[in-house]
Amino acid sequence: MHSAVWSDEDFCKILDDFPVLKRQINGKRLVYLDNAASTLKSKSVIEKMTDFYLNHYSNIHRAVHTLASEATVAYEEAREKVAKFLNAKPEEIVFTSGTTMGINFLVNSLVRSGILKPKDTVLISQVEHHANLVPWVRLSKFYGFNTEYIKADEKGVITKEAILKAKSISPKIVSITGQSNVTGQEMPLELIREIFKDSILIVDGAQIVPHKRLDVKKLDVDFLVFSGHKMLAPTGIGVLYGKKELLEKIEPFLYGGEMIDKVTFEDVTFNILPYKFEAGTQHIAGAVGLGYTIDYLESIGFEKIERYISELSQYLLKRMLELDFVEIYGPVDDSHKSLVAFNVKGVHPHDVSHILDENFGVATRSGHHCAQPLMSVLARGSKIDFPNSTVRASVYFYNTKEDIDILIEGLKYIKRWFE
Ligand code: PLP
């Protein structure tokens, strides 16, 4: 048995749902380790979406015909599924196009509502993805607020001490990733909430939501944003959760059809939550697909997925640490989840990634992972000629320890080859 989490039979059923895993890449079985960028798509979710598109699709909310009502019901059911998944209320769930849109939405809406004012401070961390960094840095230049950072250590780790140190800044807003897409570190969100009791807390859930159930009420986050495509759902659909009382207060980011109550030539009043934030025709099938995805993940057992990914993450880290010719970034403990960013000494990450694909069928990501400022932090702590980028291997629940063994074999081959 490959894991105690599920039987071999159940696991085979999971694999059957991802036909691409049977594909040969350069004569080798595909080993897909680029899940942090985007996960594979499940056949059963796609089949349900195809049925939706072929037999039930229409625009939503507007018309009174049967198809419109079926599509509207499916769309609103998807919202309810997301709400239940996060322990939120349906009116607190806004569909967006993804995490990037969610953060841009929040920065703009918080400024327009007068909640984020000139001279206020927004605290983010040095490990943020550009999606949770560029909007703050750029818009601070227009709106006059300050962006400060929780410092990362030389391995890119956000320590408890660094979080405590930032307390004296008294930020109006703390916007932090739930898990770094480079160091793999899962952030201590409970601790962050406790330390920054009086700040608005925004969590970038792009990496954490796909493999850890977040209870937004228990965590007491004010806003949470994430993308469907990193958890089997289609691209172009994402979620912004916001506490009802805050969503009621903030100004929409996008204006247009459907988000209004009354419009005159002079003014406009807004629709009720959450429609006030869903201007224009939405990615209807995407939202419906996200709902089907949540059904699918729950049918497998989300807690099992969480446990299995933790088990795989520990195995991945342990096997990578065995390689003395590899430099690894991020924490060396069990806060390091689902991915490992690394460099093979003396070999450019693009070459490593290319050889892994060409000779072993292993898909990894190489580059700066949309975290250029973090690359400069890692460069300072690096013992090698740091190439300002890394290779990243990331797992999801359809991966196996055997996949990780193939990655390790590939890395040993690269070392021999370059010698
Ligand atoms: N935040 C993190 C931590 C990510 O890893 C990513 C994507 O890799 C994003 C934000 C942006 O997500 P998207 O491109 O789906 O908007």
Q: What is the pLDDT of residues 24-77, one digit of tens each?
A: 999 999 999 999 999 999 999 999 999 999 999 999 998 899 999 999 999 999
Burial class (CB in 10 A: 0-12, 13-18, 19+), 1: exposed
CB-count exposure of residue 372 (10 Å: 0-12, 13-18, 19+): middle
- Asked whether residue 95 is domain-assigned, the answer is yes
Residue 359 lies in a domain: yes
β 223-227/200-204 pair status:
parallel
Say whether both 312 and 282 belong to one domain.
no
Verify that 346 and 414 share a domain, yes or no: yes
* Strand spans (E) along 67-138: 93-96, 121-125
Mark whether 280 and 378 lie in a shared domain: no
Q: Is the pLDDT of residue 279 over 60?
A: yes
Pair 382, 330: CB distance under 8 Å:
no
Query: What is the separation of C-alpha 282 from the centre of its chain, rounded to a whole number of angstroms?
Result: 21
Give the SS3 label for residue 226.
strand
Between the CA atoms of 114, 246, 238 and 95, what dihedral angle is there, to the nearest 10 degrees? -100
Residue 24: both structure tokens together: 């040969």
- The answer on 121 and 265 residing in a single domain is yes
Looking at the predicted structure, is the pLDDT value of residue 416 above 80? yes
CA–CA separation, 239 and 97 (whole Å): 8
pLDDT for 136 beyond 90: yes
Residue of 396, 399, 400 whose CA lies nearest to 39 = 396
> Helix, strand or coil for residue 18?
coil
Residue 259 has pLDDT above 60, yes or no: yes
277: helix, strand or coil: helix
Tell me, yes or no, whether 252 and 368 share the same domain.
no
- Taking the centre of ligand 1 as the mean of its atom positions, its distance from the CA of residue 227, in whole angstroms, is 7
* 8 confidence band (pLDDT: 50, 70, 90): very high
CATH of the domain at 308: 3.90.1150.10
Q: Are 137 and 238 in a shared domain?
A: yes
Inside any domain, residue 228: yes
Q: Which residues of 12-27 are buried (b: 16+ CB within 10 A; e: fewer)?
A: eebeebbeebeeebee
Q: Is residue 131 part of a domain?
A: yes
Question: Which is it for the CA torsion 320, 2, 40, 310, positive or negative?
Answer: negative
Looking at the fold, whether 240 and 323 belong to one and the same domain comes out as no
Provide the domain limits for residue 127. 46-299
Residue 210 lies in a domain: yes
- Count of alpha carbons within 13 Å of 11, Cβ hemisphere only? 17
Any idea which of 61-70, 197-206, 291-300 has the lowest mean pLDDT? 61-70
d(CA 180, CA 158): 10
Q: How many domains does the chain have?
A: 2
Cα separation, 192 vs 167, whole angstroms: 10
**Mean pLDDT, residues 162-181:** 98
Q: Pick the range with the lowest mean pLDDT from 3-12, 311-320, 355-364.
A: 3-12
Name the residue of 38, 214, 370 to mutate for ligand 1: max ligand atoms within 8 A of Cβ.
370
Residue 379 in tokens: 């460069």
Tell which atom from ligand 1 comes closest to the C-alpha of 180: 3
Residue 62: its pLDDT value, please? 82
Q: Answer yes or no: is pLDDT of 1 > 80.
A: no
Q: How many CA atoms lie within 13 A of 85 on its CB side?
A: 29
227 Cβ closer than 6 Å to some ligand 1 atom: yes
Distance 129 CA to ligand 1 centre (A): 7
What is the atom index within ligand 1 of the atom nearest the CA of 101? 16
Question: DSSP alpha helices (H): ranges in 182-283?
Answer: 189-195, 216-219, 244-249
Is the domain of 278 the same as that of 388? no
pLDDT band at residue 3 under the 50/70/90 scheme: confident
pLDDT of residue 135: 98
Q: Quick one: 122 and 162 in the same domain?
A: yes
- Catalytic residue set: 370
How many A from CA of 134 to the centre of ligand 1? 12
Residue 2 within any structural domain of the chain:
no
- Specify whether 216 is located in the same domain as 68: yes
Pocket test for ligand 1, best of 181, 226, 374 (most atoms within 8 A of CB): 181
* Cα(178) to centroid(ligand 1), Å: 11
Structural domain contains residue 101: yes
Kindly report each contact of residues 407-410 with a partner whose C-beta sits within 8 Å and lies 24 or more positions away, as own/partner.
Answer: 407/31, 407/33, 407/319, 407/356, 407/360, 407/362, 407/364, 408/319, 408/320, 408/322, 408/323, 409/360, 410/355, 410/356, 410/359, 410/360, 410/362
Domain-embedded: residue 1: no
Q: Is the pLDDT of residue 127 over 60?
A: yes
* pLDDT tens, position by position, 338-365: 999 999 999 999 999 999 999 999 999 9
Residue with tokens 């892994």: 356
Is the Cβ atom of 129 under 6 angstroms away from ligand 1? yes
Distance CA 2, CA 12 (A): 11
Q: Note whether 107 and 169 are same-domain residues.
A: yes
For residues 193 and 122, membership in a common domain is answered with: yes
Percent of the chain with pLDDT over 90: 98
Best CA proximity match to 347, nearest among 317, 386, 298:
386
Domain final residue, candidates 299, 330, 352: 299
The amino acid occupying position 407 is L
Q: Is 204's C-beta closer than 6 angstroms to any atom of ligand 1? A: yes
Domain boundary among 235, 270, 299: 299
The model's confidence at residue 323, banded by pLDDT at 50, 70 and 90, is very high
pLDDT in tens, 379-391: 999 999 999 999 9
CATH number of the domain encompassing residue 72? 3.40.640.10
Residue 107 Cα to ligand 1 middle (Å): 16
Mean pLDDT of the chain: 97
Of 283, 299, 315, which residue sits at a domain end? 299
- Average confidence (pLDDT) over 145-152: 98
